[in-house]
Amino acid sequence: MLATTILMTCQLAFMAMNLFQQGEASDFKDLGTLLLVGFVLAVGAGVAFTVVRLRMREKKPPAAQIISISSPHSKG
């Protein structure tokens, strides 16, 4: 599940880069907008990754580690 999420995020990033490269040549004033959009996308991807990871943790809680204080040799 985690690998799928990473691959989907990479695919979206490549699609976004392709979209920005197909546009007209960027002026200096457009670079600020592109930087802001990139920052918003990066924050959104980070939040989405964290939410998915926390949901996976809730669905599959870690197994309880039970430590026995009795020796298996003391049966008898």
For residues 41-70, average pLDDT: 82
**Confidence at 65, pLDDT banded by 50, 70, 90:** confident
pLDDT at 11: 85
Residues 27-42: pLDDT tens digits? 666 778 888 888 998 9
pLDDT at 70: 73
pTM: 0.46
The burial of 44, by beta-carbon neighbours within 10 Å (0-12 exposed, 13-18 middle, 19 or more buried), is given as: exposed
Rounded CA-CA distance 63/32 in Å is: 48
> For the stretch 2-32, what's the b/e string if a residue is b when 16 or more beta carbons lie within 10 angstroms of its beta carbon?
eeeeeeeeeeeeeeeeeeeeeeeeeeeeeee
Rounded CA-CA distance 55/40 in Å is: 22
